[in-house]
Structure 1
C-alpha cells in the first residue's frame, strides 16, 4: 500500500490520527481526510488563490494577499508532537490532489494547550468537512498530551462558532479584542470523538 492510500473499508478502523479516512460527501464527491504532506504545498497555495476575501479574513482575522514560502514550508512540514495538519483532498497522490480544506493544531510552547485553525473552501462548504477535520484535531491532541484546544474567531464567523460549540467548545470574551471571540475545549471533560460509520 503506497503512502496516502486509504485503508480498505473492510478493515477494522484505526484510531491513529495519522491515518487516511475516505469521506463521501452529501453531494457524492469523495474526499480523503489525511495528514498534510510536503507535496501538498503547491496545491494548498493554488487553493488559496481561489479563496474570496471574506474566507481569507475569517481564517487569518485580517487580509492576506498570498502565503509566504516560509509559511507554506512550515504548514506542510509540521514538527512531530508540536504541530499537526490534516487536509481534505481529492483521492489522488499528494502533489496531484486538489486540497479543499485544511485544519491544523499548534502546541503552545511548553504547555498542554494548542491553537486550532480550520479553513474549508466555499466550494466544499456545508458538506460536513469542518466537523470531520475538527474530530481529527481532537484525536491528535488527545494522543499527544494536549488538554486544551483554543482558537480566536471573528464574531461574525457564525459557522465556525456553531461548529466549535457543537463539538463542546465554550465561548469566551477576549479583553481588548473587538470583533473576536475565543472558543476553548477542555479535553479532560470532552468525550472521545466518535468515528463516522
Structure 2
C-alpha cells in the first residue's frame, strides 16, 4: 500500500489569483514575531477595520492572546508564506471564539492589503464556519464597521445577515447555524473572489 503524504489537520496550500502561494494553517506561538513585523506594514484603516479602533502596535499581551488560542473555545488560522512558523510572514489572520453560553461565536478576519481582493477572506471565513459547525455552534457573529462594505458584502454572500448594534458606526453580521445546517457556507476549497 502506497503511503501518501498528508498535511496536518487545518493545513492547506493555496495559490491566489496573482500566483502567490500561501499556507493556511492554525496559528502558532512562533508567529508572534512575524505578526508583530507584519503589523507595521498594515495601513491605519486596515487596523481600524479589524480592531475597530486605531492601534499603533501589537503589544506583548495582545500578541500572546492572539498566538495562544484556548483550544476548547478558540480557533485561529493564518495565511502565511510557506515557510516554518517563526520565519513566515503572516498576511492574514482569521479567528473565532465561542462565547460563554457555548452557542454563539464571534469571528474576526484581517487580510493585508497586499493580498486582499483575491478570495482569501471568503476562504478563511468558510474555514471558521466549518470549525464552528464542528463545535455545534448555533450562531456566528462579528462586529463590522459600517464603512467596511467589503466585509459586509462578503459575509452577506455567505448567508450572514446584518443586525444593528447600540454602538454608532458598527453593525453586527450574523450567521444562524441550525443543528441540521447544510454545508452551503463551507463548499469550495479554492479562493475565487
Deviation string 1:20-62 (CA, Å, 9 cap, x unpaired) is 1111100001111111011111111111111111111111111
Q: Find the counterpart in structure 1 of residue 30 from structure 2.
A: 39
Q: Find the counterpart in structure 1 of residue 39 from structure 2.
A: 48
* Cα distance in structure 2, aligned partners of 1:44 and 1:145: 30
| 2:98 matches 1:107 | yes
SS in 2 for 1:152: strand
Query: 162, 168, 176: which one pairs with 1:178?
Result: 168
Query: 43, 63, 67: which one pairs with 1:76?
Result: 67
Q: Find the counterpart in structure 2 of residue 194 from structure 1.
A: 187
Where do residues 41-190 of structure 1 align in structure 2 (5 Å cutoff)? 41-174=32-165, 176-188=166-178, 190=181
* 5+ long unaligned stretches in structure 2: none
Q: So what's the TM-score if we normalise by structure 1?
A: 0.88
Offset at residue 110 of structure 1 (A)? 3.0
* Cα distance in structure 2, aligned partners of 1:162 and 1:20: 27
SS in 1 for 2:58: coil
SS in 2 for 1:54: helix
Count of residue correspondences: 184
Q: So what's the TM-score if we normalise by structure 2?
A: 0.90
Offset at residue 107 of structure 1 (A)? 1.1
* Cα distance in structure 1, aligned partners of 2:10 and 2:145: 31
* Cα distance in structure 2, aligned partners of 1:51 and 1:105: 21
Q: Is the 8 A contact 1:118 1:130 kept in 2?
A: yes
* 5+ long unaligned stretches in structure 1: 1-6
Q: Find the counterpart in structure 2 of residue 4 from structure 1.
A: none
Q: Which runs of 4+ in 1 moved over 2 A?
A: none
SS in 1 for 2:107: strand
